[in-house]
Amino acid sequence: MSDSTNIETPFGAPPADPFAAAKSSAIKAAEDLRAAAAAKAHEIRQVAEQRASQFTSVAGDKAAEIKDYADKAWDEASGQMKNFTAETEKFAREKPLQALLAAFGVGFLAGVIFRR
């Protein structure tokens, strides 16, 4: 019997080990897959960061719009309250008896409603 490692092929080169070739092919495929997965993960991360940045920008703009609206509403309500207060004081000075009776009536109704 002869040793299989010393067998010569017709071309003069020793035969290649089929398991070693499969192993190196599998290792190469795994490295390619790992590189592709890393590239895809990097791409996904970039897209996610871009979307988060866009969302943050839009949310900031909307928050500024809401704040402006709230400030305008507050200023308007404050102005209306000042006008109401001034008219109430004017009414109380011009017609004190009617103002007193109106205040008593409102207080009486509030007491009846809250007593229940």
**Residue 52 maps to a domain:** yes
pLDDT for position 12: 54
- Name 8's Cβ contacts closer than 8 Å, sequence gap at least 6: 14
**Residue 2 maps to a domain:** no
**Residue 5 maps to a domain:** no
The answer to whether 66 and 73 have CB atoms below 8 angstroms apart is: no
Q: What is the CA radius of gyration of the chain?
A: 43
Domain that holds residue 48: 17-115
16 pLDDT above the threshold of 70: no
10 pLDDT above the threshold of 60: no
pLDDT in tens, 93-107: 999 999 999 999 999
**Residue 71 maps to a domain:** yes
**Residue 106 maps to a domain:** yes
**Residue 9 maps to a domain:** no
pLDDT band at residue 19 using 50, 70 and 90 as cut-offs: confident
Number of domains in the chain: 1
